[in-house]
A = this chain, B = another copy of it.
Amino acid sequence: MATQTNKPAFSGIIPPMVTPLLSDNLSLDVEGVKHLVEHLVSGGVHGIFILGTTGESTSLSYKTREQLIVESCKAVNGRVPVFVGITDTSIEESVHQALVAHNAGAAAVVAAPPYYYGLGQEELYKYYWSLADQVNLPLFLYNMPSHTKINIDVKTVVRLSEHQNIIGLKDSSANAVYFQSLCYLLKTNFSLLVGPEEITAETVMMGGNGGVNGGANLFPKLYVALYDAAMAKDFARIEELQDLVMEISTRIYTVGSYGSSYLKGLKGALSALGIVNGNIAPPFTTFDEKEMTKVIANIKDIEIKVAKVL
């Protein structure tokens, strides 16, 4: 391996921003984007990640995705780095979207494996290496095996970390052994971010660089405080905040059946708190009235508790 120059390092709480939609469930709610960006930036987040799984990227038309890139970067206006998801089954579309991101002023792009065909690790390695060659922004790998059907194996990540343009990985597998293996093998010059907010505290304490946590759309300050507490190894504070994070996890994200319960719960709660409306793009739909009643009651209750500790 040739000597590498330092890669740009990112850390902290970088929420995977939900995509505010108009009532047709397809068109971008531009005012909603502006409002949500303000909510996040004023909440102290260290970056914003748009067009991820929480952002419903794959459900949006390409036109809408591009519009979101432009509007988000404009609203953020350089105050924090913007990360843009370019996950796609077509590498040509990924490269194009990275160009749009670059032109809009984004800081980095993020790509999960192509998710239609089943790939082997060697195929995946070649794919990412080629993608990294073709985009002119730093690239984050995005491990999301439940959705892409493939795990980016530890050995593959280590090999890919040698590419100058691949600067980190977001892991949404929830597999803590996987994450610890990466922390151990890639101690320097590579940003390791974790998806599930339930484990941001423990991974940060063990060497992780931060969290791409959906719940930070609701209460950015809560997750920033948890990250700060984990960095400071302030266990009393961690325990207090972790309890609230777990309350959100267990009372908001699991109200419905199916895996979509997380997204429906999150957007439902955002709507209940008046942050942005809760419209969801197909193939999903918003919760029905009975489920929403529950989400509203739970999030209002949690909101009070969050206010108390911040």
Contact = CB atoms under 8 A, between A and B. Distances in A.
A285 B126 contact: yes
A123 B256 CA distance: 12
A26 interface: yes
Contact of A59 (B90, B202, B250, B283): B90
Interface string A52-63: 010000111110
Interface residues of A, number: 66
Interface in A147-200: 147, 149, 154, 174-181, 184-185, 196, 198-199
A116 B115 contact: yes
Given A177-B199, A202-B176, A123 B233 contact: no
A78 interface: no
Given A184-B250, A198-B181, A117 B147 contact: yes
B283 A127 contact: yes
A89 interface: yes
7 contacts: A58-B116, A90-B281, A120-B258, A124-B283, A176-B202, A184-B246, A184-B250
Nearest to A184: B246
Contacts of A282: 91, 114, 127, 130
Contact of A90 (B60, B118, B199): B60
What are the 6 A-B residue pairs with the smallest beta carbon separation, nearest first?
Answer: A176-B176, A58-B89, A184-B246, A120-B258, A202-B202, A58-B116
